[in-house]
C-alpha cells in the first residue's frame, strides 16, 4: 500500500478538464510538500503539455490558457518560493523562468539544450570556396537565373559550409528538388565522399522522400536536365537505398524508452536530412541533436505553416520564427509553386495568412477550381458523401477498365486514379470524422458495385496502413488498393519505386497486411506530405470545436493541386482562420538570446 495519502484540497471544478495524469501530478505535488496552488498549476501545466504546449504562461496576454484562472501577483511570487520550483539554473521538478513561463523540467531542459546546440551549429560555419560554389550552383540549375528559382539557388549556395540549414516552403515549391541539389553541391565541393543519411518522423514521409530523391537523381542523370559527367560521382553518393524514421535512425528502445544513439554513440553520417520537420517535437529534436557529431551537417526541411507535432513543442515553427526576422543565412523560405494551379496558390496564401476577405475573394475568383460547400448537418453531409462516392465509383479505381497488360502496370494506373481524389477530415472520430465518412463512402461503393455487405475485401477497396512493418516494407500512412487478378484472387497493391527509380506497384495478400483502416477518408494530420489532384476538406459544424485552427485548414487545402472543395459552414471556416496555433513555450526566445546551458543538460 502506498504511504502517500491523497488530499482532497484540490480544485474539484477542474475535474472535467484535467486528465487522470494531470490529477495524479497534482496529488504528487501535495504528497511532496507542495502547496495547493502549486499542485493546481502543475496539473494545468501537465494538461498544457498534453495539448502541445512546452510551457504554461502565467502572465501576459497568453496567461489563462486552456481555462486556467489567472494568478495574482502575490500567488505568482509565492510559487517562486516553493522548493519544488526553480529558475532553471538547477534541476527542480518545475521551472518558473524570468518571463513567467511555468514548465515541467523535461521541457525546459529540452528547450535549453536544443537552443544551445543550434546556436553552436550556427557559429561553427566552415570556410568555403565562393567561386567553386557559384560555378556548381550555375551547373546544377543549368544556368537558370530566373526569379522562380532564385530562392532555390540561395538555398543551394547557402548550405555550403554550414552545420545547420533550414529549408521551408509550401507544397510544390520544390523543397525536395532543392535538397537534392544541396546534397550534390556538398558532395561536389568536398574532396572526400560524404556519408549522407535521410530520414523523416514517419515511415510514409521517409519513403516519399526516398522516392523523390531517386526520381530527382534519374532526371539529373538523363534527359534535357542531365548534369555533365563530372557530376556522376556526386550523384552516386546521394543515399537512396534507405530512409528510416527518426526513431529507427536514433535506435529507439521502447522497453527502456531511450534512444541508443547519443553523444557517446553518435551517428556516423556527415550530413543528416530530416524531411517533414514540422512533425518533430521537442524531445525528438533534442535526441537527434544529441546524436549528431559536432562536425556533421543538419538540414531540416518542412512547411513551418503546417500542423505541428503531436507531442509538445513546435520546433520548426519556433526555429523559423527566430531566424526569419534576423534574415539568417541558415534559413530559406521557398514561395514559388511549381505544381498547384495559380488560383489555388492564392487560396493557400489567404489561408496561411489568415486573411478572411482575401480567401472569400480567391474562392469567388476561381469557381472552377475552388468551392465552398456549406455542410452543417447530417443530411447535407450524407448527400455530399454520396456524390463523392459516386464520382469515385466511376473513376476506374476498381481496375475494371484496366488494360490487359502486366498486373503491376494496371495496378499502378489504378493507384494513380485513386490518388486523384481524397476526402480530408479535421476529426477522426464523430459523425463528421474520417472513420464515419469512410464507412459511408464504402457503403455507397458497395451498393454501386453490387458487393455483398458482409464482404470485407472487394476490388476497389482502399486502405491505409496504420503501423510500420519494416519486414513487409509498409509504413504508417501507406495507401493500398485491393484489385482482382484474372482468376478473381484479391490482392492489395501499393505504389513503390524499382531499383532504377521508376514507379511501379507490388502486392500482398489481404491477410498479410499489418494494421490498417479504410482510406477513402483520412484525417488532415495523416495527409501531411501528400498531394492530390482534387481534395475536399471536411470541417466539423461547431465553430467552437477545439481542433479547428488555421494550420489545420492550411494543411488541408494545400493538399489540392488542381481542384479544392471546402465542406464547412462559413462560421466554421471563419473560426478556423481566426485561430492560429500558437503553442506556448520558450524555445523561440531561447534561440534568439538564451544563455548556454550548464553541464547538467546532458540527456538523462
User: Looking at the structure, do residues 333 and 387 belong to the same domain, yes or no?
Assistant: no
Return phi, psi of residue 298, to 5°: -115, 125
Span 190-211, pLDDT tens digits? 878 889 999 988 877 887 888 8
Among residues 103, 136, 156, which one ends one of the domains?
103
User: Looking at the structure, do residues 16 and 61 belong to the same domain, yes or no?
Assistant: yes
| DSSP designation for 69 | P
Among residues 291, 315, 339, which one ends one of the domains?
339
- CA–CA separation, 249 and 358 (whole Å): 43
Whole-model pTM: value is 0.85
- For the chain, residues with pLDDT lower than 70 are 1-15, 223, 339-340, 400-405, 499-501, 594-604
- The confidence score (pLDDT) of residue 340 equals 58
As a three-state string, the secondary structure of 546-586 is CCCCHHHHHHHHCCEEEEEEEECCHHHHHHHHCCCCCCCCC
User: Looking at the structure, do residues 267 and 232 belong to the same domain, yes or no?
Assistant: yes
Residue 594 domain-assigned (yes or no): no
Residue 174 domain-assigned (yes or no): yes
User: Looking at the structure, do residues 182 and 252 belong to the same domain, yes or no?
Assistant: yes
Residue 118 domain-assigned (yes or no): no
Residue 162 domain-assigned (yes or no): yes
- CA–CA separation, 452 and 498 (whole Å): 36
CA-based nearest residue to 572, from 390, 383, 381, 304: 381
- Number of domains into which the chain is organized: 3
Q: Which residues are annotated as a binding site?
A: 169-176
What is the grid cell recorded at 593?
538570446
Contact 278, 249 (CB under 8 A): no
Residue 597 domain-assigned (yes or no): no
Residue ranges of alpha helices (H) inside 258-355 are: 282-291, 315-323, 342-353
User: Looking at the structure, do residues 551 and 461 belong to the same domain, yes or no?
Assistant: yes
User: Looking at the structure, do residues 422 and 493 belong to the same domain, yes or no?
Assistant: yes
User: Looking at the structure, do residues 216 and 320 belong to the same domain, yes or no?
Assistant: yes
Residue 1 domain-assigned (yes or no): no
User: Looking at the structure, do residues 315 and 355 belong to the same domain, yes or no?
Assistant: no
* Number of residues that this document lists for the chain: 604
Among residues 272, 307, 339, which one ends one of the domains?
339
The owner of cell 459523425 is 431
- CA–CA separation, 491 and 507 (whole Å): 6
User: Looking at the structure, do residues 174 and 210 belong to the same domain, yes or no?
Assistant: yes
- The confidence score (pLDDT) of residue 1 equals 37
Residue 398 domain-assigned (yes or no): yes
Count CB neighbours of 433 within 10 A: 18
User: Looking at the structure, do residues 42 and 93 belong to the same domain, yes or no?
Assistant: yes
- The confidence score (pLDDT) of residue 6 equals 42
User: Looking at the structure, do residues 323 and 351 belong to the same domain, yes or no?
Assistant: no
User: Looking at the structure, do residues 278 and 147 belong to the same domain, yes or no?
Assistant: yes
Pairing mode, strands 101-104 and 56-57: antiparallel
Which element (helix H / strand E) includes 142? none
Which element (helix H / strand E) includes 266? none
As a three-state string, the secondary structure of 330-398 is CEEEECCCCCCCHHHHHHHHHHHHCCHHHHHHHHHHCCCCEEEECCCCHHHHHHHHHHHHHHHHCCCCC
Count CB neighbours of 215 within 10 A: 18
3-state helix, strand, coil in the chain (%, to 5): 40, 15, 40
- The confidence score (pLDDT) of residue 582 equals 86
Domain that holds residue 199: 124-339
Residue 116 domain-assigned (yes or no): no
Q: Which residues are annotated as a binding site for ATP?
A: 169-176
Amino acid at each position: 500500500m502506498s504511504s502517500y495519502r491523497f488530499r482532497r484540497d484540490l480544485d474539484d471544478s477542474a475535474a472535467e478538464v484535467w486528465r487522470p495524469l494531470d490529477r495524479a501530478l497534482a496529488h504528487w505535488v501535495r504528497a511532496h510538500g507542495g502547496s495547493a496552488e502549486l499542485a493546481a498549476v502543475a496539473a494545468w501545466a501537465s494538461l498544457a503539455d498534453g495539448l502541445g504546449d512546452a510551457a504554461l504562461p502565467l502572465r501576459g496576454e497568453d496567461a489563462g490558457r486552456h481555462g486556467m484562472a489567472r494568478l495574482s501577483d502575490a500567488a505568482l511570487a509565492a510559487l517562486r518560493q516553493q522548493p519544488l520550483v526553480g529558475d532553471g539554473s538547477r534541476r527542480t521538478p518545475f521551472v518558473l523562468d524570468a518571463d513567467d513561463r511555468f514548465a515541467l523540467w523535461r521541457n525546459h531542459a529540452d528547450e535549453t539544450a536544443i537552443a544551445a546546440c543550434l546556436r553552436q551549429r550556427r557559429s561553427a560555419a566552415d570556410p568555403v570556396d565562393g567561386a567553386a560554389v557559384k560555378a556548381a550552383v550555375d551547373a546544377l540549375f543549368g544556368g537558370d537565373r530566373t526569379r522562380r528559382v532564385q530562392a532555390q539557388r540561395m538555398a543551394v549556395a547557402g548550405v555550403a559550409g554550414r552545420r545547420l540549414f533550414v529549408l521551408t516552403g509550401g507544397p510544390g515549391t520544390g523543397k525536395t528538388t532543392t535538397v537534392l541539389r544541396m546534397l550534390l553541391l556538398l558532395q561536389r565541393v568536398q574532396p572526400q565522399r560524404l556519408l549522407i543519411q535521410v530520414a523523416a518522423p514517419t515511415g510514409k514521409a521517409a519513403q516519399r522522400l526516398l522516392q523523390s530523391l531517386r526520381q530527382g537523381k534519374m532526371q539529373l542523370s538523363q534527359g534535357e536536365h542531365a548534369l555533365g559527367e563530372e557530376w556522376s560521382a556526386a550523384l552516386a553518393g546521394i543515399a537512396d537505398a534507405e530512409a528510416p524514421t527518426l526513431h529507427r535512425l536514433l535506435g529507439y528502445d521502447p522497453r527502456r524508452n531511450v534512444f541508443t544513439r547519443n553523444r557517446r554513440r553518435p551517428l556516423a553520417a556527415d550530413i543528416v536530412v530530416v524531411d517533414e520537420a514540422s512533425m518533430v517535437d521537442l524531445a525528438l529534436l533534442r535526441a537527434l541533436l544529441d546524436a549528431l557529431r559536432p562536425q556533421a551537417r543538419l538540414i531540416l526541411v518542412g512547411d513551418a505553416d503546417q500542423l505541428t507535432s503531436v507531442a509538445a513543442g513546435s520546433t520548426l515553427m519556433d526555429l523559423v520564427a527566430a531566424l526569419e526576422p534576423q534574415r539568417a543565412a541558415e534559413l530559406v523560405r521557398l514561395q514559388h509553386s511549381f505544381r498547384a494551379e495559380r488560383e489555388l496558390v492564392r487560396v493557400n496564401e489567404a489561408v496561411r495568412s489568415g486573411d478572411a476577405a482575401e480567401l472569400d475573394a480567391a474562392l469567388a475568383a476561381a469557381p472552377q477550381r475552388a468551392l465552398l460547400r456549406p455542410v452543417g448537418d447530417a443530411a447535407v453531409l450524407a448527400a455530399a458523401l454520396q456524390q463523392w462516392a459516386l464520382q469515385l465509383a466511376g473513376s476506374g479505381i476498381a481496375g475494371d477498365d484496366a488494360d490487359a497488360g502486366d498486373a503491376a502496370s494496371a495496378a499502378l494506373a489504378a493507384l494513380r486514379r485513386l490518388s486523384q481524389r481524397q476526402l480530408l477530415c479535421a476529426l477522426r472520430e464523430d459523425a463528421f470524422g474520417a472513420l464515419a465518412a469512410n464507412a459511408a463512402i464504402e457503403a455507397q461503393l458497395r451498393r454501386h458495385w453490387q458487393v455483398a455487405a458482409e464482404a470485407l475485401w472487394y476490388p476497389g477497396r482502399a486502405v491505409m496502413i496504420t503501423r510500420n512493418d519494416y519486414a513487409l516494407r509498409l509504413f504508417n500512412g501507406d495507401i493500398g488498393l485491393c484489385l482482382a487478378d484474372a482468376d478473381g484472387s484479391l490482392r492489395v497493391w501499393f505504389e513503390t519505386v524499382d531499383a532504377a527509380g521508376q514507379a511501379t506497384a507490388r502486392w500482398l495478400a489481404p491477410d498479410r497486411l499489418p494494421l490498417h483502416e479504410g482510406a477513402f477518408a483520412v484525417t488532415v494530420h495523416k495527409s501531411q506530405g501528400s498531394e492530390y489532384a482534387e481534395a475536399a476538406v471536411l470541417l466539423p459544424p461547431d465553430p467552437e470545436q477545439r481542433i479547428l485552427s488555421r494550420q489545420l485548414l492550411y494543411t488541408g487545402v494545400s493538399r489540392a493541386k488542381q481542384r479544392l472543395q471546402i465542406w464547412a459552414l462559413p462560421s466554421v471556416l471563419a473560426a478556423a482562420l481566426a485561430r492560429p496555433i500558437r503553442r506556448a513555450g520558450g524555445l523561440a526566445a531561447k534561440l534568439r538570446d538564451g544563455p548556454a546551458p550548464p553541464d547538467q543538460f546532458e540527456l538523462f
